[in-house]
Amino acid sequence: MKNFKRLIASLLIASITFAGFPLTAQAAIVSTDEVIAADVLTAQRERVSAFLARDDVSKALQVQGVSSQAATDRVKAMSDAEVAQLAGRIDQAPAGGEVIEVLFLVFIILLVTDIMGLTKVFPFTRSVR
């Protein structure tokens, strides 16, 4: 029991000693360009998610064997550059015109990520991992 008390006392002394050291904080100025870029990326992700939530798009995805939830999850996992590219294609497509092209792009992205082992959307793919 005496050894246990010594151990506890030693730990308390060490923790109180180290608690007296000052902690440093890091701060930086955030530029306006960085804030605007973050807002643009958020808007692009929302635009792609809204596109995938449309009825005609979700039906076309289901015809290809992809659930709309899986596609939405993959959009959340995409890099900023991929989302920007996909949002640019959505913006360039005429209203209701080239939905197939965008769906094909989503299909290819999902297929590649399945093959790489990052997702498991399609049952017919085999992961390289």
Q: What is the mean pLDDT of residues 27-40?
A: 86
60 inside domain: yes
Task: Measure Cα distances from 64 to 4, 28, 42, 80, 105 in Å.
Answer: 66, 47, 28, 25, 12
10 inside domain: no
23 inside domain: no
pLDDT in the model for residue 119: 75
7 inside domain: no
With 0.85 as the threshold, say if the pTM is over it: no
| Tally of domains within the chain | 1
- Lowest-pLDDT choice from 34-43, 60-69, 92-101, 105-114: 92-101
The tokens for 3 are 């050894």
pLDDT above 80: residue 128: no
Domain that holds residue 100: 31-116
Dihedral sign computed on CA atoms, order 64, 65, 68, 70: negative
pLDDT in the model for residue 97: 54
C-alpha dihedral, 86 to 87 to 93 to 97, nearest 10°: 80
| Helix-, strand-, coil-residue percentages of the chain, each rounded to 5 | 70, 0, 30
C-alpha dihedral, 58 to 60 to 64 to 70, nearest 10°: -10
14 inside domain: no
109 inside domain: yes
Task: Express each pLDDT in 63-87 by its tens digit.
Answer: 877 787 888 888 788 888 888 888 8
